[in-house]
Amino acid sequence: MLNATVNIGVIGVGHLGQHHVKHYKKLKSTNIIGIYDLDIGRSKEISKTFGVPCFNKLETLISRVDAVSIVTPTLTHAKIAEYCIRQNVHVFIEKPITTTVEEAEKILKLADDLRVIIQVGHIERLNPGILALQNYNLNPKFIEIQRLAPYTTRGTDVPVVLDKMIHDIDIVLSITNSSVKSIRASGLSILTDSIDVANARIRFENGTIASLTSSRIAQVELRKVKIFEKNFYATVDLLLGLTEVYKVIKRTSEAPQAIKIKQFEYNSKETLIAYEKPEIIVRDSLQMELLNFIQTIKGESEPIVSGEKGKEALAVALDIQEAITQDLH
């Protein structure tokens, strides 16, 4: 399928789904066949806005495409994905991949048997601030991530761990590249019937510790990552796409990209601290994800977040949710 145009459908055209439609329209190697949403009025509205057909039956849309984006409530992911895979249609599933690990394993096995691609939408993996750290050989001892957001009704079908924190779980898993050793977590329901505020402390087999805090009832939006290791500290503002790095060095030649080098004394020894701001290449993260999906279908790339990686993030999220449940009782 290297030179072919990929026929695409979008299932679910709510707040995020409409952006899938917009970006697929921009990609040269795709042909957006149409959209489907249970809300017929919404479907017609997006159809008119972007000039794409809307389908009244999901089965009809699936029969005409090579691949789909599934941008529906989490509880529907497994059922829709299984149907698509059985029709040999590749699927891009917005996070979390499914509601349970068992559901994820079922569709992953089915996709493997039928040679169908599953990719999961963990968009923060492509945040410009995170990408700016790619040139650093990270070996963190401690990672701290805060993700706070004002309340909206969107995403409240699942706890904050599966709605917000799972982004940061995926980031941490990609940085540490290690399995989880233990989890301690606590959380609280405040405005909804599920957990609205959560904190998790994850210890990895390689010794890294991650502290994750997520809230969907904050007054001000905040998304910050802090990475600590010996002689190194990095901070990433995910909202601004800003990355700053501080390194302890012995010679100025060790930090050719430094904006500033400051000298300080400790225990009668002089040390240098280099301050760097890695180059930020501003790109649309969702467009990069969807382009990667299309390139993977055409055999030109590998998924940035595969179905297996999506399952791993889900498994950790569910373990955190279970730890919170036990803590509350």
Co-location of 129 and 171 in the same domain: yes
Kindly state the average pLDDT of the residues 279-306: 95
Which positions ≥6 away from 315 have C-beta within 8 Å? 101
pLDDT in tens, 187-208: 999 988 889 999 999 999 999 9
User: How far apart are alpha carbons 288 and 27 in whole angstroms?
Assistant: 10
Co-location of 189 and 62 in the same domain: no
153 versus 2: which is more confidently predicted? 153
The CATH number that applies at residue 147 is 3.30.360.10
Q: Which domain holds residue 200?
A: 125-284+316-328
Co-location of 223 and 112 in the same domain: no
Co-location of 256 and 289 in the same domain: no
- Closest to 322 in 3D by CA, of 214, 184, 145: 184
The CATH number that applies at residue 86 is 3.40.50.720
Q: What is the DSSP letter of 317?
A: H
User: How far apart are alpha carbons 174 and 178 in whole angstroms?
Assistant: 9
Predicted pLDDT at 328:
86
Q: Is residue 63 part of a domain?
A: yes
Q: Is residue 172 part of a domain?
A: yes
Q: Would you say 146 and 153 are in contact if contact means Cβ atoms under 8 Å apart?
A: no
pLDDT in tens, 144-157: 999 999 988 776 77
> What is the total count of domains within the chain?
2
Q: Is residue 310 part of a domain?
A: no
User: How far apart are alpha carbons 227 and 231 in whole angstroms?
Assistant: 11
Co-location of 110 and 29 in the same domain: yes
Co-location of 156 and 272 in the same domain: yes
pLDDT in tens, 25-69: 999 999 999 999 999 999 999 999 999 999 999 999 999 999 999
Q: Is residue 197 part of a domain?
A: yes
Co-location of 157 and 235 in the same domain: yes
Q: Is residue 308 part of a domain?
A: no
Co-location of 145 and 276 in the same domain: yes
Co-location of 292 and 255 in the same domain: no
Co-location of 170 and 160 in the same domain: yes
Co-location of 59 and 139 in the same domain: no
| H or E segment to which residue 272 belongs | strand 269-276
Predicted pLDDT at 99:
95
pTM: 0.94
User: What b/e readout covers 124-160, taking b as 16+ CB neighbours within 10 angstroms?
Assistant: bbbbbbbbbbeebeeebeebbbbbbbeeeeebbebbb
Instruction: Indicate the residue type of 225.
Output: V
Q: How far apart are the first and last CA of the chain?
A: 53
Co-location of 110 and 165 in the same domain: no
R_g of the chain, CA atoms, integer Å = 21
